[in-house]
Amino acid sequence: NLRRREERARATTMGKKGGKVRVKQVGPKAPVNPLADLVVPPEEMIHLPPKPDSNITHIWPMSETFTMDYKQFHAIYPTYLDATKTVKLGRRIAASDAVPDPSVQEIGEALRAMNVRHAVQPYKGYPRDAESRWDNPGRVLVDLGDAAAG
């Protein structure tokens, strides 16, 4: 009985005669998203490849892979030697001595030819030149103490 009274109290009155009619609201529980039609389904989304680990390091000579401490080595970014870059973008040598678009692999090959201990980090980026992080990533860490002694 108590439950019926509560339901009657909640029911709305409709009509002139005061007849009681229960009105049930039907509709979505949550507000409708007006942009729902614009959502791209997951199978059509563009999936970027995973970012490579920037801490990957290739040591030369390989016999020193576990013993070499390259934390104190000097960093050479390809931008330092790039003839197509300005000094403001990070070139550190004269434009006449620079080469166009050097890569960390080429720098590593030159250091191997001179028997200089070094570590190549192919996925590091030069902080001053954001373009080089995409176009020409990497850096070479060089043991200049070993180079001067040899």
Over residues 74-94, the pLDDT tens digits come to 999 999 999 999 999 899 999
Question: Of the CATH numbers 3.40.50.720, 3.10.20.30, 3.30.56.30, 3.40.30.10, which one belongs to the domain with range 58-149?
Answer: 3.30.56.30
* Confidence band of 98 (pLDDT split at 50, 70, 90): very high
What is the distance between the alpha carbons of residues 139 and 109, in angstroms, rounded to a whole number? 13
Phi, psi dihedral angles at 45 (to 5 degrees) = -70, 150
Residues 6+ apart with CB under 8 A from 79: 85, 89, 90, 91, 126, 128, 129, 132, 136
Q: Which residue has the tokens 């290739």?
A: 58
Nearest Cα to 108, choosing from 132, 79, 77, 130? 77
* Confidence band of 111 (pLDDT split at 50, 70, 90): very high
This model's pTM is above 0.75 = no
CA distances to 95, 101, 116, 123, 149 from 92, rounded to whole Å, are 9, 14, 21, 21, 24
Lowest mean pLDDT across 33-37, 81-85, 141-145:
33-37
